[in-house]
Amino acid sequence: MTRIKCCGMTRIEDALLAAELGADAIGVILTAHSKRQVSLRQARAIVEAMPPFVTTVALCMDDEANLVQEIIDIVRPSMLQFHGNESDEWCKQFGQPYLKAIAMGEGAAALYQLRDHPHAAGLLLDGHGLGEAGGSGKSFDWSLMPRDLRQPLILAGGLNASNVASAIRVARPWAVDVSSGIESAAGIKDPGKMREFIAAVRSA
Ligand SMILES: O=C(O)c1ccccc1NCC(=O)[C@H](O)[C@H](O)COP(=O)(O)O
């Protein structure tokens, strides 16, 4: 069964609907690089509203260590996601489980990064280019998804209800991640799109 992370939550009601529809994880974005950025207080409220067994993921992108520590202390997510050029050494200093995003915008040439993060709990392969923000709606060549890594791989970038079943067939990921494909505007989730996306993953 392919797990599902719905990212870029800015409203409690959207995160609750994702959980009710069967999402395994939700993401809140704390970095100023995002148009979906929420405050520490908003993120805490969303995390606190989640029922048991829904993983909460807090996202940063090349942020100061102080902000990451505040996120850990105030938001208290299940795990972190580092979405920039952070090194393995830097990410692991917080002693928290985390996902490391890998920018796949350069295609096969981007694959070298996959071996650089042995301490990450999972690697999230996203369609944008190096140094660019996530939530871009850009996909990459799913056939590049490696099969020989010990870490779980999360497929992200430009997924929606119409393409996610093919993406799963080609890439065979541990999980899929979606943000703009279930939105009506940045940070505002569309209940119909969310419902269709989760149903498409479940029947893939
Ligand atoms: O979504 C953002 O605004 C964002 C900004 C900066 C860093 C990361 C960000 N999102 C990370 C995610 O995990 C997204 O869900 C992922 O990039 C997929 O987005 P989309 O292509 O819109 O489905």
Is 126 in the active site? yes
pLDDT of residue 24: 98
Does the beta carbon of 10 sit less than 6 angstroms from any atom of ligand 1? no
Give tens-digit pLDDT for 112-146.
999 999 999 999 999 999 999 999 999 999 999 99
Show me where the domains of the chain are located.
3-202
Residue 111 confidence (pLDDT): 92
> Is 7 an active-site residue?
yes
Is the ipTM reported for this complex over the cut 0.95?
A: yes
The mean predicted confidence, pLDDT, of the chain is 97
With a cut of 50, which residues of the chain have pLDDT below it?
A: none
Structure tokens at 94: 């917080």
CATH 3.50.50.60 fits 3-202, yes or no: no
Q: How many CA atoms lie within 13 A of 199 on its CB side?
A: 7
Per DSSP, the three-state class of 105 is: coil
Provide the percentage of residues in the chain whose pLDDT is more than 90. 96
User: Considering only CA atoms, which residue is closest to atom 8 of ligand 1?
Assistant: 134
Distance (angstroms) between ligand 1 centre and the Cα of 131 equals 13
Using CA atoms, how far apart are residues 197 and 138, in angstroms rounded to an integer?
A: 17
